[in-house]
Chain A
């Protein structure tokens, strides 16, 4: 049976839902061990041990890992690799930074952001911002794979896997953490939200973006997203960007307001179940993929919609 080592995504306190989704993909390939790398992250290992179908949790706790910088995380994965056939991770910032290093050091080609497991060695992944899909067969030998979380359901948490503590001598002379400016943890998380309300350039200012979208997002208990144009203009922080080069989301309801629907934006939201477009332009490309199109001025339609919900 194929043996998989899956890198957990977490902030030393909470296991990210992306990992539960990556486990679902991994279980279609083989037997799953989860690696929790961090510092003072026992709680994460505990949560990981509850994921159904996980055989074992490995916990590597050390000061060198506190910010999960790519160099030490990759070095540890390479050290553990001989016992595994597949090294995997969700396609999160940490996974995307560390796994290609692992692949290069193991001298194997990585397969990025799989959206489907066809068989244990064959996967589907999007290319060209999701405008084409590629079915890829991995070469023999070890595989290094990242998973697009929105394409898999989260694995249930009804398991009870043993936790094994690792001791490592990993060091990091190359990179040093300086500071972080992270989003407020009380918000509904964009990637796992059931409803996402996104705003574009048309809002004209940060004040109008916040004043119009916050109340609507609250009513719908949704997360707020943004187009690149809105982020570049400073209406929203970078971590809210949806698209080819931002976050990929697939909520039950996605509302695109004052967003034209460039292919780079569609790449991040077109797998949403229901899409609503509110746009003053009947010919905006977003209207072609939306389930419900409202041709209106957002400055009138958004307050009215918030009122009527």
Chain B
């Protein structure tokens, strides 16, 4: 069986982002970009299934600007077999991404698709569920455990009240959460090897998909800053302030 892992290039999670003063968006110039951390977990999950002999090929794909080849090379260095870049300019909403992915699924016919539960840039948490609906497949979201069986995948999902385990008939979509695994690092020899692995570049037009945004972002701005606080000297002073100044106890 083949597994498809869609990934995204985002500002590295350690970077403090800057909002452009003119309100037109978040500054991406000269900022460290990396693979969305959840997508590394998705790739790791796919690689573990391959190592367990349950899948034979791990294909990764991204819809993004030309430079997104970086994160595909990272994924190949982790151990993915093959990569697809659907090259676009500018932002594509999750719906557009899901439509392109549905076309890739049509061509590649993977047995299932594993992807991150959200991207840490737009925090939308939509792509996996949308892809699942477009394909008419079942879905599991926010996975913290995953077991591939004959004809179905058993997934433990992190839900508001705790954990819920479901079986999803294959082919299926699984979106992964932080506690599923700890992704491996790409070793230097593997980074070198990854340079020779196949990376195909196509455009959404090749699929006849319109990825132009539906919603209009009118403005991007910084949230109001919190006023600085005070340092209390000891527990007594803390209790006194909480009682008499903040009035919260």
A-side residues, CB < 8 A to B, are 11, 67, 69-71, 74, 92-94, 96-105, 107-113, 122, 126-139, 173-183, 191, 195, 220, 228, 231-232, 237-239, 244-245, 247, 252-253, 263-264, 270, 273-276, 282, 287-296, 301, 304-305, 308-309
Contact = CB atoms under 8 A, between A and B. Distances in A.
A170 B241 CA distance: 56
B69 interface: no
A100 B223 contact: no
B64 interface: no
Nearest to A126: B123
B17 A132 contact: yes
Contacts of A270: 226
Contact of A244 (B120, B132, B215): B120
Contact of B95 (A109, A113, A273, A276): A109
Contact of A174 (B118, B169, B216): B169
B160 A247 contact: yes
Given A104-B129, A108-B95, A274 B120 contact: no
Given A102-B133, A110-B94, A182-B162, 14 more contacts: A97-B141, A105-B133, A113-B123, A129-B120, A130-B223, A139-B214, A176-B167, A177-B165, A178-B165, A180-B163, A180-B165, A182-B159, A273-B248, A290-B229
A1 B245 CA distance: 45
* Consensus secondary structure, chain B interface: mixed
A304 to B, nearest CB: 5
Report the contact-size class of chain B (Cβ under 8 Å from the partner).
Answer: 35 or more
Centre residue among B117, B123, B154, B228 by max chain A CB count within 10 A: B123
Interface in B68-126: 93-95, 98, 117-118, 120-126
A291 B246 contact: yes
Given A101-B129, A139-B215, A244 B123 contact: yes
Contact of B123 (A104, A129, A138): A129
Centre residue among B26, B241, B246 by max chain A CB count within 10 A: B246
B179 interface: yes
Nearest to A290: B229
Contacts of A178: 154, 165-167
Contact of B239 (A173, A180, A309): A309
Contact of A292 (B26, B139, B168, B242): B242
Contact of A93 (B139, B160, B215): B160
A100 B144 contact: no
Given A131-B17, A291-B230, A294-B235, A274 B163 contact: no
A8 to B, nearest CB: 14
Contacts of B118: 245
Given A110-B124, A139-B215, A175-B166, A104 B160 contact: no
Which 3 residue pairs are nearest across A and B when measured between Cβ atoms? A174-B138, A100-B129, A104-B130
A309 B240 CA distance: 10
Contacts of A100: 94, 125-130, 133
A122 B177 CA distance: 30
A93 B142 CA distance: 9
B248 A252 contact: yes
Contacts of B238: 276, 292, 294, 305
27 contacts: A71-B139, A104-B98, A113-B123, A127-B122, A128-B17, A133-B221, A134-B220, A135-B217, A136-B215, A138-B215, A173-B169, A175-B138, A176-B166, A177-B165, A177-B166, A178-B167, A220-B249, A245-B118, A253-B249, A275-B226, A289-B226, A292-B238, A293-B229, A293-B232, A304-B235, A308-B236, A308-B239
A294 B248 CA distance: 17
A127 B28 CA distance: 14
A290 B228 CA distance: 7
A239 B231 contact: no
Contact of B160 (A92, A122, A273, A289): A92
A308 B159 CA distance: 36
Contacts of B130: 100-101, 103-104, 110
Contacts of A101: 129-130, 132-133, 139
A128 B215 contact: no
B51 interface: no
Contacts of A94: 159
A105 B99 CA distance: 11
Contact of B138 (A71, A137, A231): A71
A56 to B, nearest CB: 26
B134 interface: yes
Given A253-B242, A274-B246, A292-B241, A136 B129 contact: no
A26 to B, nearest CB: 19
